[in-house]
Structures are given as C-alpha cells and as structure tokens.
Structure 1
Amino acid sequence: MNTFIKISVASVLMGTTVLLASCSNLLDVTPRSSASSETALTTAEGLDAALNGIYDRLQSTVLYGRDFLALSEALSDNAQATNKSGRLNNESRNIAQASFTNWGTSYLAINQANLIIGATANATFLSDTAQKNRIMGRAYFLRALLYHDLMRAYAYDPGVEIAQYNRGGVPLVTTGVSGQDQITFPARASIADVYKQIYSDLQTAIPLLSATNIPAYGSRPAAQVLLSRVALYNKDYATAVQYATQAIAPSNPALAVPLLANSSYISGWRAPNHPESLLEIVYTTPENIGVNTSLQTTYTTLVRSGDRSTTGGFGDLVPSTAFLNDLEAEKSSTGAVLDIRRQLYELGTTGRGPAFIECTKFLGKNGIINLDNVPAIRISEAYLNRAEANAMLGNNTAALSDLNTIRTRAGLPASTLTDNTAILTEILRQRRLEYGFEGHRWFDLKRRGQDVVKVQGNVPYTDYRILANIPSSEFATNKNLRQNFGY
C-alpha cells in the first residue's frame, strides 16, 4: 500500500481494555506521512492516515495476512499439515487453543475506527461532503468487518447456539478511547446485539460509500456483499438475497463488477490484483510478510506456477484428500477433470521433503515471492450467498440459476436438480470448491452447526473447540468478561 499513510497507535487495545503507553497522543503518524501526531484527527490528511492504519492492521498475520484464511482451512476438512516447518500442525489437529488470535489486533483497529467516526462526525474542517462521506463510510464498513470476524472466531452463530455453552457475543465498544480516563470494562454483548450493531454499521456505510468498485479500500458493492454474508450467518435469508442482488445488479449497470469468464479464471489469480475483488488487502514490497508466514509459503513450495525446479516456501498446509476428491469428482467421458479450478492446485517441489499437491492461488504478485495481495471479498460470493439464501427460502429456481452461474463458469455442466435438499447440498459443495483456501470452510461449517469430519480427528459441533479461546490477559483487567466454555 505505497499510497497509504501509515499510523502507529501508542496503545495496545486488549479487547475491552486499553493500556496506553502514552495518554497524550493516541495516534502517532510515522515519518512516511507529512502529518504530525498533533493533527492526526484534526485534519483531513490525519483522518485519512488514521483510516489507512486500519487497512494496515488487516495485513497482520492474525487477520488477512494469513490466519483468517489458512486457519479456516487447517481447522476444517479442507487441508492437512505437512510438518515441513512445524507450523499449523496443531491447528490441523484441532488442538485446544490452537485457533484464531485476532482479538487484540481487531479491537485495536475497532478503536481506531471509533475515533475516526467520532472525529469525522464533528469535523468542521471537512467542508467537502463527498470526502466526509468517504471517510465515514469506510470507517463504518471496516468496523463491521472487524466485529463480524470477531464473532466468527469467538462466538456461536445465530440459530445454532449450544445453550449450555453459550457465553454470548463479544464486547461492543463504539466510542473511541484516547486516554485512561475513558477506559470501560463491558461484558460480552448478546449475539443478537452484536449482529444488530454490524447491520447498523453496514446500512450506514452503504449509501456513504462510492458505488464504483475500489478494491483496495472497499466501496459500496463490498459492503453490500459483506451485509449479504452477515445476513446469511444470521439466518436472515431475505436480507441476504436483497444485498447480494444489489451488488450483482446495481442501479447503474455500468458499475456492475462482472464474474470472470471461464477462459480468464486462472489468469485472474495470476494478476497483481484479482479482477473479482471487492475488498483486496494490498501489500507493497516493504510490507512483504516473508518466507515464514506469508500465504504463499504457507500453501506452496513453488515460486512460479509450473516450475518444480526452484523451491521457495514451505508448503505447510495442503489440500486434504477429501477436498481433492470433491474437486475432481466430475470428469469427462475420457476421464479428464472438468473443473477448471483444479488447475490452481499443482504438485509442489521436493526441496523441503515429499511433494504434495499444493494450492497456488497466492503466488507472489508482481514477480516478488511471498508478496500476496489477498482478496477478502469477491463478487462470486454474492452469487453463492444468494443461491444458498434462496435455497433456504425454498426458491429452488432462483437458487439453481445462481448455482449454475458458478458451475458453468468452472467448466461444469449446468445442474438439473429439482429437490431442494439436493440443490442446497450442491450449493454448499460449490462454495467449498470456489473458496478453497480463501478462509471460508471452517466458518461455513460452524455457521450451519455441522460437525467437522477429517482424518486428523473429527470435531463434533458440540465440542468446545468450535470457538476460539479469548486471550487470558483479558481477564486480569476486565472482571466482567467470561471465557468461552472449556478453556
């Protein structure tokens, strides 16, 4: 993000508690910015710097730099660890406490969003309404994304709670903290109340955001698809259909973000930025996560597609046999795999041990190894969200239409299924294949209350490991907080 102005925060927000290293200046702008810390929230430039700092936090390894993609695959039935570096072995085996750790980073980013929203709402120096709307819209959008990701990791999803284990959602903090006198210690809000806040944030953001797609920042279509995702988790299927449709077919057809064609599907993953991205986490060369924990090194030993002569990463996490079998299930009369997505999984090198079939969705961008631009929201999700929601509503014809949009784009024949259960099963299968190694599988099983069936050991939905453990440091300062059951 070489166009981003970075900020660092002179505090560590540990969920509900802010431990301030300095109470005088919450926001310190790095020398790369021409703004000073004193103007961080009192100028348009400073607000942009603060906002861009949230995007920088999304790059973190515990968020979209690795874990919110890779751990969802490792914890689920999509992947297996290779033990080539020792990383993600425990996650692949679902060892207790080997799970998501985004709590502190997410709340720090949420606090930044809260400060920006508060400062922008009262900013008399912002005379440009469009500029004010842009800042506010992005801050609300990012806060919604961060809260939903916290809920996905640490709380049950609506409608599938285990009553005797349910400790609620996550603490809701919607006012920025810039000094110790402002610290509060809220308990976990109810699941319903957190979802109500996420809905409110996205419904506020959508009309403020640009209708033109701006993947590096997220704009109106990104917020619409995110709200369709949130509604799907909330079992609010009519709303999921509504906002997915708005993203697919905006009021101005010229602004629609198209699905990639079958002929350009693979090349889209090799482009510096994915053409379907509605929100893409963008990295510049100095922000390279590196050979230990980048998505490229996590998923593959290859440096370049088709070149097994050079070893780059470790290939710590590779497709499970069950995932590959699903991907290869449909074949031509000559036995050829029909699904074009299979081409994104290649045999790796032997440079770090035995060769495995590896995911190559995240090869280094612009020819730089381990420099991964990460699609966090793609337009294809709108079709899959709408298909599933319509199937749950019993709208088989509409569900089948969106299902076949995804199937035929993948090179598969259109489905002629008529049974609702069979249509839904195929939609979920296509969701698994379309979003393999993009961080959806664990959360999709969890939100539907399904067991995880895997060779490393099954995880029944009633198992406490379905939820991540809240960091133990939280409980030393916030006595109102309750840990998830089992930890």
Structure 2
Amino acid sequence: MKKRYFIWFLTGFLMLNCSCNDWLDVNPRTEMKEEDMYQSEKGFKNVMNGIYIQLASKDLYGKNTSYYFPDLLAGYWYKTNNSTENYIMSYLYSNSYVENVIKTIWSKYYTVIAHINDLLENLDKTDVHFTNGNKELLYGEAYGLRAFLHLDVLRLFGPVPVGASDGTNAIPYVTELTRDPSKLVSVTYGEVKRMILEDLDRAEKYLAADPFMLGSMYDLNNPGGNGVNYTPDDDWHYYRQTHFNIYAVDATRARFYQWIGDKTQAEIYAKKVVGVKNTDETDKFVLATNSSYTSSEKGALVMASEHVFAVNCSDLQDIINGVMITSSSSRPKLYLQNAWISSVYENPESDNRSKGGRYFQTDGSYAYYLKYYESGTIAATDMVPLIRLAEMYLILIENSTLTEAREYFEIFRQARGMDFAISIGDETARKNQVEKEYRKDFWGEGQMFYYYKRQNKTSWSIPQSVTIPENGFVIPKPKGQSAFE
C-alpha cells in the first residue's frame, strides 16, 4: 500500500473517547498512517469501532443530535434566560453560541462520513484476508451508515419536505474522501434521495448474511450466557443492534419514505420491521411493556428491546451530568416544569412512560428527565436509541387504513399501559393521537422536531407554547460551508 498520511480534518478524531484503545493508540492523535489502520482485519474493525464511537460522542448522538439541539427546538425543555439553550429555543440561529453548536453538528456529521468513505475506499483495494463474512459486514454497515447519516443531515439542514421539489437545493452527499471543496457542495433534493436509496440497496446486499438474522437480541447480547440458542463465530458479531444491521436498512427506508411523503412505501418497510421473527418464531423486536421496568434487564428506560439501531456511549453518565441531571444544588441545563408531565401524558399514573416517577425526578415545581440516568433502581445501558420499534408502529398507525391503524394502535396502547379507551374514529383523531404518541415516546431522543418539520406544523402548545418563525425549520448551514456553495 502506498504510504499515505490521512490528516483527520475538522475535530472528529480529537473527540473520540477512550473505549476503543486500539483505535486511539496506533499513532499520535492528529495523524495516523493509513497503512497501520488497514493492514489487518482487526485494523478494519477498529476503524469501524472508531466510527461508532464518534457517533456516540457528545457532538452527535451522545448529546447534540438527540436530547439537546432538536429537543430544544421541539420545546421539550424549560427556557432559561441568557443561555445557549434559550437562544436555540428562540430559533436565533445567527447567535454566535448557536452558530457554534450548528457548526459542531455539521462538522462532526461530515467528519464521520469522511471516515466511512475512507474505510470503503480501503475495503475496495485491500488484499487483507477476512474471516467469518466480516468484509461483507463492514461494507454493509458502512454503506448503511452513510445513507442513515445523510438522511439525518437532510432532516436537520434540508428543506421542509412538504412542497420541496426534486430540484430544490439540499445538502452535500459525499461519497469519496476528498478535500476538494467542489465535491462538498450541496446537491439537489432529488439527488440526495436517489443516493440514500442506492446506499441502502448496497447495504442490504452486503448484509444478506447478517448474524442478527440467526440470533435473537438476547442471544447476541449475552455472550456465553445461559439460555443462549445461537453463538456467532466471531465476537465482533455480538450486539448487532449497536451496529448498522440488516433490519436497520428497512427501518431507515421506512423513515426515509415517511420523510418524503411516500406513505405506501413507508408502510411496506415499517411492516417488514414489525414482523421480523427469530428462528423460533418469536418477535425479533419487542415493544417495551410495564414488565420491562420491573425485570432485572438493563435498558428499561431507553426501551432496549425495541432498538433496531442504537449507539453505545461509554461516557454518557459524564456527559449528562449537569446537562440532564445534577448532583449539585444548581439545576441542570435541561429540565421541565412538573405541570408539563400531565399535559403530555393523558393519564400519567397509567402510562408506563410516566408512572411511578420512572422518568421524572421532581424538584419543587420542576423535574429532571431520567431516560439516560444510572439510577439506584433502574440500571442504564449507556445506549442512545437511533431507531426504535415504536417509530415503525407509529408509521403504520399514521399510514395504514383506519381499520389496520386501530389494530396497530391497540397493540401499542396496551404495551404502553394506557388502560383507558382511546378512539381513532377518523383522520383527525388519528393525526392527533400519532402526534401525542410521538411526544410521549421520543422525549430525549430528538425525533419530535422532525415530526413537526415533516408535518410543517409551525405552532403547538404542549408541553409549552411554541411558534416556529419563518424558515425556522431549516437549520442554516455553517458560514464556512455557505461561503463556497
């Protein structure tokens, strides 16, 4: 291999945490020999592990693009004066503090995409011998991640899908490792849509033998544990829901088609995910129920049994300290009013998502949100869900015939412990209930803002009154990007 030094541009590499020593210790932190990374199968795996670590960093799903930036825009958190959070909630995108958050998110997304493209380029030309189908898995995960991340960039920085034409300017879709600014210019909405689907098709092809198809989530999350029915040939095949897997392909397709307004295709792919079975005909993914919170299994608050794709953030407890929870006398940056709980949940002591103080710690008239907190009663997994089964159900409830929607909603309603009657008698009732369930289910996950943007809903009153200003749904690209477009 030609000796080449890859300079990790932007800030991505510096943000890696210490949970992948092989990735960090090959060479000094700002410069790495590509030949060192890609000279063995282990090296390729370490590169992919490093990509997942970056996704879990506080610059992306460990904070900024989950419970922080999009949830502030959705009005989930109490607005405090003279703070970055206040400026974000006020849609003051030109504020210097908000600009820095936006720049960090944009830069981190495209840093990770650059690393994915570098991995793909080296997979194409390597003569390394891979075992246990790992070359195909690496290809599949890389192509799938590239599609998934560009879709998230599109949802945040791209146009409101209602009324957007294929010729509308959107975002850069980067498919090669380059420093050429002309390759980092935004392409049209239609081009982005086409390339997302092409990458998902590639991912599906390479993930055709995904070990997740052979083992249940329990099998693959319990190496050597009692009751395990399937043991993979390679330790790297465990914990498939924290890798972009074969089922994440269809779940991303469902989210994509829902975003662009193709209800028929969204329903088709959501139904595929909901219907996936293990080899013993049990459900691959299971809606969390009340018993999920009383079992000894970790991950109850993040509904781990529903994770189609998630990231593991080893330092999540440190990240949320002072942001979502606090051990000091001062409040964290993100908190809510107690009164909001009853406004979001129709019957708080019946709903599994609010009953018994599972998710909320009260502090006078305010409350802290505990979804990611390692408490004394419910253990955390340090996982941040990126696609859950609940989203697939809500896609089906929103897009199926009313008769089928009622059936899906009844399953969902019972799982969530809503022991009161709810009627979806017509389209208005259906739409209202879907919005309510998004608001209840995805607090802390960053999905509610995208629901509002997809619907082009410019005002709402729960949990607090919010009005989106003109162009407020389209996050402006950083000045550095706009300068050469």
- Deviation readout 1:14-47 (Å, 9 max, x if unpaired): 99xxxxxxxxxxxx952279x9642323432222
Alpha-carbon distance in structure 2 between the residues aligned to 1:273 and 1:259: 8
- Deviation readout 1:145-197 (Å, 9 max, x if unpaired): 2101111111114334499xx962101211223xx5x6644431111211221
Note if 1:447 corresponds to 2:470: no
1:258 to 286, 291, 299: 286
Note if 1:204 corresponds to 2:214: no
Q: Is the contact made by 1:407 and 1:414 (CA closer than 8 Å) also made in structure 2?
A: no
Alpha-carbon distance in structure 2 between the residues aligned to 1:31 and 1:132: 23
The structure-2 alpha-carbon separation of the partners of 1:74 and 1:475, relative to structure 1 and needing over 3 Å to count, comes to closer
Name the residue aligned to 2:191. Answer: 193
In terms of fraction of residues, the more helix-rich structure is 2
Name the residue aligned to 1:280. Answer: 310
Which contiguous aligned blocks of 4+ residues in structure 1 show a shift greater than 6 angstroms?
A: 365-371
SS in structure 2 at match of 1:68: helix
The structure-2 alpha-carbon separation of the partners of 1:196 and 1:312, relative to structure 1 and needing over 3 Å to count, comes to farther
Q: Is the contact made by 2:312 and 2:383 (CA closer than 8 Å) also made in structure 1?
A: yes
Q: Is the contact made by 1:160 and 1:448 (CA closer than 8 Å) also made in structure 2?
A: no
- Cα drift, residue 296 of structure 1: 5.1
The one-letter amino acid of 1:432's match is: R
- Cα drift, residue 400 of structure 1: 1.6
Note if 1:123 corresponds to 2:126: yes
Q: TM-score by structure 1 length?
A: 0.77
SS in structure 2 at match of 1:317: coil
The structure-2 alpha-carbon separation of the partners of 1:173 and 1:346, relative to structure 1 and needing over 3 Å to count, comes to closer
- Cα drift, residue 442 of structure 1: 0.9
The structure-2 alpha-carbon separation of the partners of 1:465 and 1:48, relative to structure 1 and needing over 3 Å to count, comes to same
The one-letter amino acid of 1:48's match is: K
Q: TM-score by structure 2 length?
A: 0.77
The structure-2 alpha-carbon separation of the partners of 1:275 and 1:365, relative to structure 1 and needing over 3 Å to count, comes to farther
SS in structure 1 at match of 2:322: helix
The one-letter amino acid of 1:239's match is: Q
Alignment of 1:325-344 (within 5 A): 325-330=342-347, 337-343=349-355, 344=358
Name the residue aligned to 1:420. Answer: 427
2:360 to 346, 350, 357: 346
Alpha-carbon distance in structure 2 between the residues aligned to 1:37 and 1:329: 55
- Cα drift, residue 297 of structure 1: 3.4
Q: CA RMSD in A?
A: 3.5
Name the residue aligned to 1:229. Answer: 255
The one-letter amino acid of 2:367's match is: I
Percentage identity across aligned positions? 21
Name the residue aligned to 1:400. Answer: 406
The structure-2 alpha-carbon separation of the partners of 1:107 and 1:398, relative to structure 1 and needing over 3 Å to count, comes to same
1:111 to 110, 114, 131: 114
Alignment of 1:68-147 (within 5 A): 68-69=65-66, 70-82=68-80, 86-97=83-94, 98=98, 100-101=102-103, 102-128=105-131, 130-147=133-150
The one-letter amino acid of 1:384's match is: L
Name the residue aligned to 1:3. Answer: none
The structure-2 alpha-carbon separation of the partners of 1:475 and 1:77, relative to structure 1 and needing over 3 Å to count, comes to closer
Q: Report which stretch shifted further, 369-378 or 207-216.
A: 369-378
Q: Is the contact made by 2:397 and 2:405 (CA closer than 8 Å) also made in structure 1?
A: yes
- Cα drift, residue 322 of structure 1: 7.8
Note if 1:360 corresponds to 2:370: yes
What is the count of residue pairs matched by the alignment? 426
Alpha-carbon distance in structure 2 between the residues aligned to 1:107 and 1:271: 30
- Cα drift, residue 232 of structure 1: 0.6
2:268 to 242, 253, 266: 242
- Cα drift, residue 414 of structure 1: 5.0
Q: Is the contact made by 1:75 and 1:92 (CA closer than 8 Å) also made in structure 2?
A: yes
2:153 to 150, 168, 183: 150
Q: Is the contact made by 2:398 and 2:434 (CA closer than 8 Å) also made in structure 1?
A: yes
Q: Is the contact made by 1:157 and 1:233 (CA closer than 8 Å) also made in structure 2?
A: no
The structure-2 alpha-carbon separation of the partners of 1:130 and 1:456, relative to structure 1 and needing over 3 Å to count, comes to same
The structure-2 alpha-carbon separation of the partners of 1:449 and 1:475, relative to structure 1 and needing over 3 Å to count, comes to closer
Alignment of 1:167-182 (within 5 A): 168-177=169-178
Q: Is the contact made by 2:143 and 2:203 (CA closer than 8 Å) also made in structure 1?
A: yes
The one-letter amino acid of 2:360's match is: E
SS in structure 2 at match of 1:61: coil
Q: Is the contact made by 1:347 and 1:355 (CA closer than 8 Å) also made in structure 2?
A: no
Name the residue aligned to 1:459. Answer: 467
